[in-house]
């Protein structure tokens, strides 16, 4: 199933505390951004990559793309204040696509096996997102005191990629912009329209590089994969 992918890469990465875009930090021998891009460069089903970038980082990112031989990037539109705005600026530039994947540029360990299942499910059903089952006991807490132990069986930790039929995510993103609705992921925008979103079981390795400890996990995953 062919698809194009939107990679929001315009965050400030405050929680990483690196003093620069965390996507430029190295894991083993290359920047996180290049690890993520390489997955899609190597996937024959991926027909185009859209990168949302900060305007002041565009030239540097273009230099990285050239240095690492990345050939599939179709556009680098300016990102926005929130991740949702960054994704939307890419969607506005896309045309004649059936399936769109939205994937955090900060999740470099996504595998083609999961991508295929997401794209196929989105093609058949409209919307499919990656997630893993909650491993820990989950409780609700108010002012430091437990108010409820939540049934873990129905709880999933949601990741990206999130895959959609193009017309569906375009409508959902346009409506959200029009009414000023801000979601924490793209699926929320589609859920708002009353459309079913399906879950595809992903991997615990598909972590988002968010804080400094995540870089340690990242190095360990890469070392394990190259063994
Ligand atoms: O901050 P967080 O790690 O949750 O961001 C997820 C992804 O969204 C990152 O790849 C980041 O660069 C991107 N992002 C963006 N525009 C924003 C905020 C985040 O493109 N305004």
Query: What is residue 149's predicted lDDT score, i.e. its pLDDT?
Result: 96
168: tokens are 């569906």
Query: Ligand 1 centroid vs 145 CA: distance in angstroms?
Result: 32
**Which ligand 1 atom sits nearest the alpha carbon of residue 52?**
20
**Which ligand 1 atom sits nearest the alpha carbon of residue 81?**
21
Query: What is residue 42's predicted lDDT score, i.e. its pLDDT?
Result: 98
Query: What is residue 96's predicted lDDT score, i.e. its pLDDT?
Result: 85
- Which residue, by CA, sits nearest to atom 4 of ligand 1? 210
Residues with CB under 6 A from ligand 1: 8-11, 23, 52, 79-83, 86, 104-106, 208, 210
Beta-ladder partners of 49: 5, 73
Best probe residue, ligand 1, of 5, 7, 8 (max atoms within 8 Å of C-beta) = 8
The model's pTM is 0.97
Query: Ligand 1 centroid vs 116 CA: distance in angstroms?
Result: 23
Query: Ligand 1 centroid vs 10 CA: distance in angstroms?
Result: 6
Query: What is residue 122's predicted lDDT score, i.e. its pLDDT?
Result: 98
Query: Ligand 1 centroid vs 104 CA: distance in angstroms?
Result: 7
Q: Report CA-CA distances (Å) from 24 to 16, 31, 77, 183.
A: 12, 5, 18, 26
Grouped pLDDT means (10 residues each) for the chain, 227 residues = 97 93 97 98 98 98 98 98 98 96 98 98 98 96 97 95 98 98 98 98 98 98 96
- Which residue, by CA, sits nearest to atom 3 of ligand 1? 210
Query: Ligand 1 centroid vs 138 CA: distance in angstroms?
Result: 26
Query: Ligand 1 centroid vs 106 CA: distance in angstroms?
Result: 8
Q: What are the structural domains of the chain?
A: 3-226 (3.90.550.10)
**Which ligand 1 atom sits nearest the alpha carbon of residue 209?**
3
């Amino acid at each position: 199933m062919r698809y194009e992918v939107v990679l929001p890469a315009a965050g400030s990465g405050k929680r990483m505390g690196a003093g620069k875009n965390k996507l430029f930090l190295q894991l083993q021998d290359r920047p996180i951004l290049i690890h993520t891009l390489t997955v899609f460069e190597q996937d024959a089903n991926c027909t185009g990559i859209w990168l949302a970038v900060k305007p002041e980082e565009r030239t540097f990112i273009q230099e990285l793309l050239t240095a690492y031989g990345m050939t599939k990037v179709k556009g680098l539109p300016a990102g926005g204040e929130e991740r949702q705005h960054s994704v939307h600026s890419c969607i506005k530039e896309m045309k004649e696509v059936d399936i769109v994947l939205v994937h955090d540029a900060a999740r470099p360990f996504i595998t083609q096996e999961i991508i295929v299942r997401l794209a196929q499910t989105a093609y058949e059903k409209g919307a499919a997102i990656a997630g893993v089952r909650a491993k820990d006991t989950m409780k609700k807490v108010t002012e430091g005191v437990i108010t409820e132990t939540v049934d873990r069986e129905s709880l999933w930790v949601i990741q990206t990629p999130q895959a959609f039929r193009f017309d569906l995510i375009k409508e959902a993103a346009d409506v959200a912009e029009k009414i000023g609705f801000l979601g924490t992921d793209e699926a929320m925008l589609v859920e708002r329209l009353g459309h079913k979103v399906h879950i595809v079981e992903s991997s615990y390795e598909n972590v988002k590089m968010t804080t400094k400890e995540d870089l340690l996990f990242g190095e360990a995953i890469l070392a394990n994969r190259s063994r």
